[in-house]
């Protein structure tokens, strides 16, 4: 099965899909997930991350921006704990 390739500037959903396996959305978002993880490791302000990575203005849409940041960061963390296994099992 062929999955979509990661995109440098993806279109974000308000929340990533909830799934126990990798989704096409996850494949598209891989670069964004790494950016979110890097920002979290650097203790970057979530508002800046929302503005720069997620392309949502936390001043205009604070609730949406916060939720997008929280859910996408959680999914990125899930990838590091569980989702990567699907990548390792995928045929080359």
pLDDT in tens, 2-56: 777 888 889 999 999 999 988 999 989 999 999 999 999 999 999 999 999 999 9
- Give the whole-angstrom CA distance, residue 76 versus residue 1: 22
Average pLDDT for residues 66-86, to the nearest whole number?
89
Residue 44 lies in a domain: yes
In this prediction, residue 32 carries a pLDDT of: 96
Residue 18 lies in a domain: no
Residue 15 lies in a domain: no
What distance lies between CA 59 and its chain's CA centroid? Answer: 21
Torsion of CA 28, 33, 35, 41, to 10 degrees: -170
Two tokens, residue 31:
């670069």
Domain extent at residue 38: 24-89
In this prediction, residue 82 carries a pLDDT of: 81
Total domains in the chain come to 1
Residue 58 lies in a domain: yes
Residue 19 lies in a domain: no
- Give the whole-angstrom CA distance, residue 46 versus residue 69: 7
Label residue 1 by pLDDT band (50, 70, 90): low
Residue 13 lies in a domain: no
> Could you tell me if 23 and 17 are in contact, meaning their C-beta atoms sit under 8 angstroms apart?
yes
């Amino acid at each position: 099965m062929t999955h979509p390739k990661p995109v440098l500037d993806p279109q974000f959903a308000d929340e990533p899909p909830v799934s126990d396996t990798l989704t096409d959305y996850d494949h598209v978002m891989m670069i964004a997930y790494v950016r979110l993880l890097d920002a979290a490791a650097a203790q970057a302000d979530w508002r800046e991350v929302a503005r720069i990575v997620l392309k949502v203005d936390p001043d205009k849409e604070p609730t949406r921006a916060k939720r997008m940041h929280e859910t996408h960061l959680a999914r990125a963390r899930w990838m590091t704990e569980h989702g990567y296994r699907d990548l390792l099992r995928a045929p080359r």
